[in-house]
């Protein structure tokens, strides 16, 4: 029997149809994979866009001078529950500390170490593990608001002032700005520092002691908070604050 007689016209047609169907399926499969790859790439770009446009980032204060401080790992010991009618802080002992919203709307919140910071459209709120109630600082007409947290203190920087929260005494302090730019705010354990283009403030948190110096003609380029001292560096000198004797020493470096 010849090969031509073995495969009838019907069998050849069926084989040809199966071949065409398989080929089309392969093309469709490749096209689907290509389309899936484009969607995946689009999702990645969307995620990148959302990350770069995180609404929280506009509230974060970034130092414009170098921070040489070596920070330990800060474990968050206090947390927030943001309810419909109240804000509740939960400290390390499990105690709930309530704050009634009274029509306020949250715009930013963060916790670090022993402090939690909460910004609303009416007030700056903060609380620490050492407190039994929320501490509030009212603000009016502030348009640009930036926040930064240490483990025992928190800072709010606006165009008009620096609002400083001391977690040890659970109180706010307002420092008005006098045509100056804030270049750094920071806290490590019991010490805190605020640096502007004109002044520097050295702060001991437990006793709320603050020392101020003029750095108008000695612009600061970097700083470091150590265990018992703070050093801020100008181009030709170092200002060192020693928490033991509560004094600021100026040392020249160009001699």
Same domain, 33 and 85: no
Same domain, 46 and 75: no
Is the pLDDT at 202 greater than 90, yes or no?
A: yes
| Eight-state DSSP code of residue 83 | -
Which strands sit side by side in the sheet containing 79-82, from one edge to the other? 79-82, 86-90, 96-100
Q: What is the mean pLDDT of the chain?
A: 85
Is the pLDDT at 36 greater than 80, yes or no?
A: no
Q: Give the Cα separation of 159 and 144 in Å (integer).
A: 6
Same domain, 96 and 170: yes
| Eight-state DSSP code of residue 3 | H
Among the listed ranges 71-75, 183-187, 194-198, 214-218, which one has the minimum average pLDDT value? 71-75
Confidence tier at 4 by pLDDT (50, 70, 90): very low
Tokens of 121: 């459209």
Q: Give the Cα separation of 176 and 165 in Å (integer).
A: 14
CB 198 within 8 A of CB 183: no
Same domain, 39 and 69: no
Work out how many domains the chain is built from and give that number: 2
Mean pLDDT of 124-133: 94
Mean pLDDT of 242-255: 90
240 DSSP β-pair partners = 231, 249
Q: Which structural domain range is residue 16 located in?
A: 3-52
Q: Are strands 220-225 and 153-157 parallel, antiparallel or unpaired?
A: unpaired
Entry pTM? 0.78
Q: Give the Cα separation of 183 and 61 in Å (integer).
A: 10
Nearest to 202 by CA among 178, 222, 227, 231: 231
Same domain, 15 and 130: no
Confidence tier at 35 by pLDDT (50, 70, 90): very low
Same domain, 127 and 30: no
CB 149 within 8 A of CB 112: yes
**Each residue of 50-71: pLDDT tens digit?**
555 667 788 999 999 999 999 9
pLDDT in the model for residue 103? 85
Comparing 20 with 156, the larger pLDDT belongs to: 156
pLDDT in the model for residue 251? 93
**Each residue of 75-95: pLDDT tens digit?**
888 999 998 889 999 998 899
Same domain, 140 and 196: yes
Confidence tier at 151 by pLDDT (50, 70, 90): very high
Same domain, 24 and 146: no
Is the pLDDT at 22 greater than 60, yes or no?
A: no
Same domain, 95 and 144: yes
Q: Give the Cα separation of 77 and 129 in Å (integer).
A: 7
| 3-state percent helix, strand, coil for the chain, nearest multiple of 5 | 20, 45, 35
Choose one of 14, 29, 52: the last residue of a domain.
Answer: 52
Same domain, 30 and 81: no
Same domain, 202 and 85: yes
Same domain, 158 and 68: yes
**Each residue of 208-245: pLDDT tens digit?**
999 999 999 999 999 999 999 999 999 999 999 999 99
Is the pLDDT at 15 greater than 70, yes or no?
A: no
Comparing 140 with 12, the larger pLDDT belongs to: 140
**Each residue of 105-115: pLDDT tens digit?**
999 999 999 99
């Amino acid at each position: 029997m010849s090969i031509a007689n073995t495969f009838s016209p019907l069998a050849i047609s069926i084989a040809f149809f199966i071949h065409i169907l398989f080929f089309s399926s392969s093309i469709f499969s490749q096209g689907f994979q290509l389309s899936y790859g484009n969607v995946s790439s689009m999702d990645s770009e969307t995620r990148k866009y959302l990350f770069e446009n995180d609404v929280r980032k506009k509230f974060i204060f970034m130092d414009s001078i170098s921070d040489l401080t070596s920070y330990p790992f800060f474990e968050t010991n206090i947390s927030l529950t943001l309810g419909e009618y109240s804000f509740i802080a939960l400290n390390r002992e499990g105690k709930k500390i309530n704050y009634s919203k009274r029509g306020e709307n949250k715009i930013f919140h963060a916790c670090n170490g022993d402090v939690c910071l909460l910004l609303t459209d009416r007030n700056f709120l903060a609380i620490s593990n050492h407190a039994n109630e929320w501490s509030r600082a009212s603000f009016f007409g502030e348009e640009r608001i930036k926040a930064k947290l240490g483990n025992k203190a928190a800072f709010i920087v606006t165009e008009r002032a620096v609002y400083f929260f001391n977690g040890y005494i659970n109180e706010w302090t307002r420092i008005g700005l006098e045509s100056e730019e804030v270049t750094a705010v920071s806290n490590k354990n019991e010490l805190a520092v605020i640096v502007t283009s004109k002044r520097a403030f050295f702060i001991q948190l437990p006793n709320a002691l603050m020392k101020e110096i003029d750095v108008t003609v000695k612009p600061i380029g970097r700083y470091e908070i150590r265990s018992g001292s703070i050093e801020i560096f100008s181009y030709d000198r170092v200002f060192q604050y020693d928490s033991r004797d509560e004094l600021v020493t100026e040392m020249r470096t160009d001699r």
